[in-house]
Amino acid sequence: MNQSADTPPKLRIRGLSKAFGKNKVLRGLDLDVAAGESLVVIGGSGSGKSVLLKCILGLLPPDEGSIQIDGREIVGLGGAELEEARRRIGMLFQNAALFDSLPVWQNVAFVPLAQKRMSRKEARSLALERLADVGLDAEVADLAPAELSGGMRKRVALARAIAVHPEILFFDEPTTGLDPIMGDLIDRLIRSCVTHLGATSLTITHDMDSARRISDRIAMLYQGKIVWQGPMERIDEEKNAVVQQFVSGSTEGPIQVTL
């Protein structure tokens, strides 16, 4: 990376491995994300993209390897220290993962409500602000998540993720399951939220159009490793056969399509 040696990247991953029984999902993955950049990791379905994010969040324990945030190791942390590290990360889950027992506004203001950091009235007005940030008006605030469309759920989940002002944002397939127009809208929202917060973002997707819209830099995950990474503009001229095949969406090439 073109980083000066004394400022560590926001996120540094080295030799990350994770297996489920015989299924070796990550096999010594190395990845850096610089502060303030938007990195997109692309890879096929089931290639371990979600597992990568879950390892960083400490939702899954890695088998081996190191993960550092601002130069501080977080693998093996527990209790308060792990909480502290997690507090700096916001996550948008693939299927939004809204709490369906709570109305929309309580989802968005979940953290201040749970930690009793503000009155319910203040929390509600904070939720309405964040909903406005993602283009939703006050009418949805009292709906249940089950009453929302897919695109609205994603937007509410985005509002919930940015409500705590994280320094790092993870997006797990933000456009999957949306129509192209809604997908475009969500991508724009993501870009503007990330820019507005000055956050570092790591997005994983298999949607090339989405990757082009969101990324400063792209990395390709294949067989448990990052096989290529570079600026978004360079991906179309890339000679790497795996990348070429993925970008063109062809069944011919080194990537085995198993049905």
Partner 1 sequence: MVVPLLTPLGRAFLAFLETVGRLTLFTGSTLWHCVRGPWYFRMIGRQMIEIGYYSLPVVALTAIFTGMVLALQSYTGFARFSAESAIPNVVVVSITRELGPVLAGLMVAGRIGAAMAAEIGTMRVTEQIDALVTLSTNPFKYLVVPRVLAGVTMLPILVLIADIIGILGGYLVSTTQLGFNQQAYLQNTWDFMEFEDVFSGLVKASVFGFLIALMGCYHGYHSRGGAQGVGTATTNAVVSASILILSFNYLITGLFFG
CA distance 163 to 124: 12
103 contacts 143 by C-beta, under 8 angstroms: yes
Cβ 16 to ligand ADP shortest distance, Å? 13
Cβ 206 to ligand ADP shortest distance, Å? 7
156-159 long-range contacts, CB within 8 A, separation 24+: 156/96, 156/98, 156/104, 156/107, 156/108, 156/131, 157/92, 157/93, 157/96, 157/97, 157/98, 157/107, 158/92, 158/134, 158/186, 158/189, 158/190, 158/193, 159/108, 159/127, 159/130, 159/131, 159/133, 159/134
User: Can residue 47 be called a binding residue for Mg ion (CB under 5 A)?
Assistant: no
**x/- track of binding to partner 1 for residues 31-60 (CB under 8 A):** -----------------------x--xxx-
* Cβ closest to ligand ADP, residue 20 vs residue 99: 20
CA distance 2 to 203: 21
**x/- track of binding to partner 1 for residues 192-231 (CB under 8 A):** ----------------------------------------
227 contacts 253 by C-beta, under 8 angstroms: no
* Cβ closest to partner 1, residue 19 vs residue 102: 102
Count other C-beta atoms under 10 Å from residue 205's C-beta: 25
Q: If contact means CB under 5 to 8 A according to the sort of partner, which of partner 1, Mg ion, ligand ADP, none does residue 43 touch?
A: ligand ADP
* Contact pick of 4, 23, 101, 258 for ligand ADP (by CB under 6 A): 23
With CB under 6 A, what is the number of residues at the site for ligand ADP?
A: 11
68, with CB counted inside 10 A (0-12, 13-18, 19+), is middle
Q: If contact means CB under 5 to 8 A according to the sort of partner, which of partner 1, Mg ion, ligand ADP, none does residue 87 touch?
A: partner 1
* Residue list 50-89, contact with ligand ADP (CB under 6 A): 50-51
* Cβ closest to partner 1, residue 48 vs residue 58: 58
213 contacts 184 by C-beta, under 8 angstroms: yes
User: Can residue 101 be called a binding residue for partner 1 (CB under 8 A)?
Assistant: yes
* Contact pick of 34, 37, 48, 50 for Mg ion (by CB under 5 A): 50
* Contact pick of 35, 77, 111, 182 for partner 1 (by CB under 8 A): 111
The footprint of Mg ion (CB under 5 A) covers 50
